[in-house]
Structure 1
């Protein structure tokens, strides 16, 4: 039973006692101070239920404005306009007091003592109830472009008994961030007839705009267009979408789910035999987007498990295809310029002006439409196309084009296709039917008109490691110059079988028949591929082709990492000849060298190849064994030997001059560059270790990691009279900006590894300086350092310190310090 003391501190009992004291007789008050007076009930002392102001918190967030409430319990009301302003789901047109119990709220609670109303809403597919597989935690990242010259090369020399030659391809690019100026050329000592020994290939300037997913090119380019347009080499201007600039953008429609739950629930997604745990969702509506899926037909299931253990499974079918665009996504290209002729034979052979364009947009997850057109003198061509998902099991494509040629007149082209790809069974059929008078820009410039085509392909997977494929294709050529085409009609029927015999062996077999104007031919082949572990593999095959038998075997050990040596050998035999070959590859960090020797029917030949990249950036020349990719130049001041990691994988240490070129940086992706703190040199101090960077495609970005040598020494500081400086005076080292204070007896700690030239001691208006140039700080000498007076104004005090050091000190307040112990 509660004690009297506890009853006394209870507000209700205290109120009753007060009423008893005023309303009862003195004798009664003295005999029993807690006796209720006559007529006092719980209702008579209940708080006022009239309108009053209350604080409101919605989903844990307190609103800035109070609301008017009235009543109590289930009868509690709130002003409709104020509730609407606070974010509550008030019916349209409602005004005045409205019961909270009449609103669609997950839960609410009113604290009359604190005058606080706490409301929790049902979710509407946002916040914790939005699960997007494509969403990435893109934190702050830096992109510091660096002007660089990149030279990619691929050089080859061949020696044979009858002929020797040397040549190569060279591509030079001046790059700064998203801008690149490129020119490529080919050189050979044995050019083809009509082609020079030194041949220019392409020259172009390209500017990428990642925020808009587009790029502009001025110079030589290959026209970008729809699937129904044939590409043409031009010199002019190109403006085109480039989805590779937006790795965060999902351009293909992927499956998703939407639903609602009444209580807190955990949600999982099952697709492609993988189960993804997405965590807990709150009561209300939920949305799951961009579920990872393989192309073709598929199913995905969402599994809901509530707090009572009840499980609900929802399954949805879908069809995924790269031919579709996500709703609202637009692909486009505009190409205009002079047509490049005799590419690979002449450096500057340009013809007539031409222009092409296309626009492609996803209207829904099931429909993508497209319009395109092209023009040059004497011909114009335009068309429309649509890709549509049928019943979530197949993709249908239909395209219609019309052309008008000054010589051939009006022509048409119709293209239709149907595909359905599944995990076990799939296939596709397509037909392209141009009329006799159909022309496009490529035809006008000298190419043959598009052929009439029929094609079909089917496959069946018995198991994930065993499948069979059937394919058929028929092409009917309509060359404007009959001497170009030997077979005006070509038909090919092929069948292929593949199965994995073990974890190391794969068997394949195939056969086919081809028919043309020149006759009919049969072919067959079978082979065995062996994986011998690691980077070693071998294989053997035998074939039959129109009466000719052949066979061969290979053995290879690849050079996959820097410093490795690879080698290979092969033998090929036919009924009338033989060929033996052997080669070796050496992969160095700076260059890749490859050589091969072969013998064909007693005739020997040799080939040597060197390829890689030379990169001039940050005042240094770097060499790498591969072309392409993006780079990050890490600079650790003048301190070498600092271990650097990319995405927590160590990629090397900085050189003696504090530089390291990190390659294989994915373009436009956020990548973490860090310092491996447990391998730091004993005297190295790194103020900021982690950097998140984004590097444009094939560009170079600078990563500054502020690092210095830390070798502290104690030296006595004295004035011109030889008297030790007083304790507590501030000391600043220049140009590093390091600060300390003078200790007792004039002793001060100096970092001998910073290579500072001067110390400034004191406050503005009363300052002295110690010259450190030429002073051997680490010779363990007890000789004091003399501080000679000079005057520095207060307004100039901060200018003594470089701006970079001021910024670094500001960053240092929230940065981790990585310091290894000797």
Structure 2
């Protein structure tokens, strides 16, 4: 009996010990439907799961975990808003947790420039634009000849630029320099330095001057894909793994696969103004959820930490177009603006010369992300007299298709800037615009101005615009001006109707007291590449009881090498003609090429093949010349300019390695863009090898040829004949084998314009 008691106590002790032991197991963990991987966990006898903090971090839970610990481990049962179940057969641990407890996912949307690898163009090159025009009456009298010339030379980091104007008539024969400058751009730092002639400004309440000197600025156009405006984003919470479609103003921008939990999508590339972000979320169960967020980005706002500035010193350029080197008083102008937060941008500005000093501050703020307010103030001094000025602007786009705006500007009589054109004492304006859906939109502006001499003017304009026949547009405008001595009303009515293929018909009628004017036009816009455009116009101008008819015609022909323009204008008593030619000469790669006018950047496309069709942004720009080259103008500096050649446009025997090049020229610059086009030849010949010191044809043998790392398999025929298609000129490793015997040799394909090449007898030794 005593032994039985001891046995009972020992049994109870062993049972308690083993019952208190945890079991370690490897389980596949799924959190809110997303597989996280295989983990080692501890399972308690009461079916609780004990894990480490590293485990919770690995499956995406964020701190603080707020859970109880057992033997140094965390109990899943103790975590609030977390449920789990264990499937022993599948070794599966399924966890369902409040998604707000999961680690947030931050997604920074890649901008277009980050997606495409851009090739920057700044080759040492030169181009000369010309625009030659001839004018005369319809009897070829009163002849006039005008010419404008623009030259740009890129040498490494330096851009030399100058433009000239020439005029010749019976009384005039003149050649004038307009502006000349050297520009140095540093796109990675957004720095631009200009030495020579340039325009300079000091910002709001300041001046705009043409100077000759030096300007240093931070220019955002050097990286147009930079996120310079306040960060635009949207956030939400996902219960399960989901597909998220991001729409920007109704257009699909990106599709994302996101894990469960909070998320924030940032860096959406919206431009200033109002708009709407829409997210369409489809979860793992197929349920669809829509999140919408309206936004407004003020045009003058900068993102937090973003700075822009400009500092210019030089001498005023005067009598431009009349005098070549006439410079006046020295002046210094500058401004700096910085985004202190995503909701507040502050700025300083100043301008000074030997007589006038002017300085001020400005601020732009976003009111509740729904409105913009701008404030500027300035002080000036001239000859001991101090003046002041201030401005206030408010822009309020509402969510009911209504936009409100208000501006107020006040100037003291003593206030002056470097232009010394301060006549106004007080002016303000109110703007209201709203959309009425399919019925169109209405906008109205009322302005009031008082000058220092106490004269006052008021103006009201009301503009109505709506679609017409689903494809066209119709508009009505009413304007009233309250002048010092009279009131004047102007009514304007117009219709624009697209006719297809870039053709348009338009009718416009303007009416005011004592005058009626009507114009009927038919036009076709010329293409960017080769093609024809025209404009035909009939006008009737009625003054009280007398009227006059006027006709106008213009034809513009675009060619790869330039544009030709012809105009004819006829009134009841007089006619005139105008003939013009404009184009460019480009020096790049040691060669001279004619081209259409170059307004910013260009690319010299080199294909090595005559007649290759070149497109810019999908628009046909021309065909390559005998040398296989074509100058493509119309590129925009620092932007992604896709230049493409379609393989479908090439003869069948040619191959194209890369069909599209993404290039970004420097300002007023360009370079060579090379497309690798190879000729595919059909190659035939005979293969022999040596047997018993005799040349024997290798018949019905296997033949392998290595072409750029890929193996082409073939066989030989009678007398060792072989035939292979699709080989470019070059040398290719080859391998021939039969009945356990093999031989290696090099197949040489010579350059040839013929589609079939016979390489003759090949002896493999």
Q: TM-score by structure 1 length?
A: 0.72
* Equivalent residue number for residue 458 of structure 1: 432
Say if 1:658 and 1:79 are closer, same or farther in 2 by CA, change over 3 A: same
* Equivalent residue number for residue 739 of structure 2: none
* Equivalent residue number for residue 5 of structure 2: none
**SS of match in other structure, 2:221:** helix
Offset, 1:118: 12
Say if 1:250 and 1:292 are closer, same or farther in 2 by CA, change over 3 A: closer
8 Å CA contact retained: 1:513, 1:521:
yes
Offset, 1:381: 1.4
2:665 is equivalent to residue 695 of structure 1: yes
Paired with 1:514 and 1:672, the residues of 2 have a C-alpha distance of 48
Aligned Cα root-mean-square deviation (Å): 5.3
Partner residue of 1:369 out of 346, 353, 368: 346
Paired with 2:621 and 2:83, the residues of 1 have a C-alpha distance of 54
Listed as ranges, the matches of 1:762-801 within 5 Å are none
List per-residue Cα deviations over 1:98-142 (Å, max 9, x = no partner). 316367998999999999999999799999652748577614444
Partner residue of 1:333 out of 307, 310, 316: 310
2:168 is equivalent to residue 189 of structure 1: yes
Paired with 1:131 and 1:125, the residues of 2 have a C-alpha distance of 19
**SS of match in other structure, 1:244:** helix
2:500 is equivalent to residue 533 of structure 1: yes
**Which shifted more, 667-676 or 489-498?**
667-676
Matched residue pairs, number? 724
Paired with 1:276 and 1:301, the residues of 2 have a C-alpha distance of 10
* Equivalent residue number for residue 376 of structure 2: 399
**SS of match in other structure, 1:237:** strand
Partner residue of 2:460 out of 493, 502, 505: 493
* Equivalent residue number for residue 164 of structure 1: 143
* Equivalent residue number for residue 676 of structure 1: 646
* Equivalent residue number for residue 410 of structure 2: 433
Say if 1:89 and 1:571 are closer, same or farther in 2 by CA, change over 3 A: closer
* Equivalent residue number for residue 589 of structure 1: 560
Paired with 2:657 and 2:251, the residues of 1 have a C-alpha distance of 43
* Equivalent residue number for residue 705 of structure 1: 675
Paired with 1:460 and 1:91, the residues of 2 have a C-alpha distance of 50
Say if 1:610 and 1:549 are closer, same or farther in 2 by CA, change over 3 A: same
8 Å CA contact retained: 1:642, 1:681:
no
* Equivalent residue number for residue 481 of structure 2: 514
* Equivalent residue number for residue 604 of structure 2: 633
Offset, 1:222: 0.5
**SS of match in other structure, 2:500:** coil
* Equivalent residue number for residue 3 of structure 1: none
8 Å CA contact retained: 2:102, 2:260:
no
List per-residue Cα deviations over 1:176-207 (Å, max 9, x = no partner). 676422111111114999xx711111111222
Paired with 1:506 and 1:72, the residues of 2 have a C-alpha distance of 78
8 Å CA contact retained: 1:258, 1:288:
yes
**SS of match in other structure, 1:559:** coil
List per-residue Cα deviations over 1:639-664 (Å, max 9, x = no partner). 44555565677765544433243444
* Equivalent residue number for residue 225 of structure 2: 248
Paired with 2:274 and 2:748, the residues of 1 have a C-alpha distance of 77
Partner residue of 1:260 out of 214, 221, 237: 237
8 Å CA contact retained: 2:538, 2:549:
no
* Equivalent residue number for residue 415 of structure 1: 391
Say if 1:365 and 1:465 are closer, same or farther in 2 by CA, change over 3 A: farther
List per-residue Cα deviations over 1:661-714 (Å, max 9, x = no partner). 344444434455555334443443555556444433443233333344344454
**SS of match in other structure, 2:230:** coil
Listed as ranges, the matches of 1:140-155 within 5 Å are 140-143=117-120, 145-155=122-132
**SS of match in other structure, 2:531:** coil
Unaligned runs of 5+ in 2: 1-10, 699-704, 735-744
Offset, 1:211: 1.9
Listed as ranges, the matches of 1:29-428 within 5 Å are 49=22, 77=50, 89=62, 91=64, 97-99=72-74, 101=76, 130=107, 132=109, 134=111, 138-143=115-120, 145-160=122-137, 163-175=142-154, 179-190=158-169, 197-253=174-230, 255-267=232-244, 272=249, 278-289=255-266, 300=277, 302=279, 304=281, 306-307=283-284, 315-405=292-382, 407-422=383-398, 424-428=401-405
8 Å CA contact retained: 1:225, 1:231:
yes
8 Å CA contact retained: 1:239, 1:333:
yes
Q: TM-score by structure 2 length?
A: 0.76
Offset, 1:338: 1.9
* Equivalent residue number for residue 740 of structure 2: none
Paired with 2:109 and 2:750, the residues of 1 have a C-alpha distance of 60
Paired with 2:312 and 2:155, the residues of 1 have a C-alpha distance of 24
**Which shifted more, 99-108 or 570-579?**
99-108
* Equivalent residue number for residue 20 of structure 1: none
Say if 1:39 and 1:504 are closer, same or farther in 2 by CA, change over 3 A: closer
Offset, 1:218: 1.6
Paired with 1:786 and 1:439, the residues of 2 have a C-alpha distance of 93
8 Å CA contact retained: 1:639, 1:709:
no
8 Å CA contact retained: 1:177, 1:695:
no
> 1 or 2, which has the higher strand percentage?
2
8 Å CA contact retained: 1:581, 1:598:
yes
Paired with 2:212 and 2:442, the residues of 1 have a C-alpha distance of 45
Paired with 1:550 and 1:671, the residues of 2 have a C-alpha distance of 43
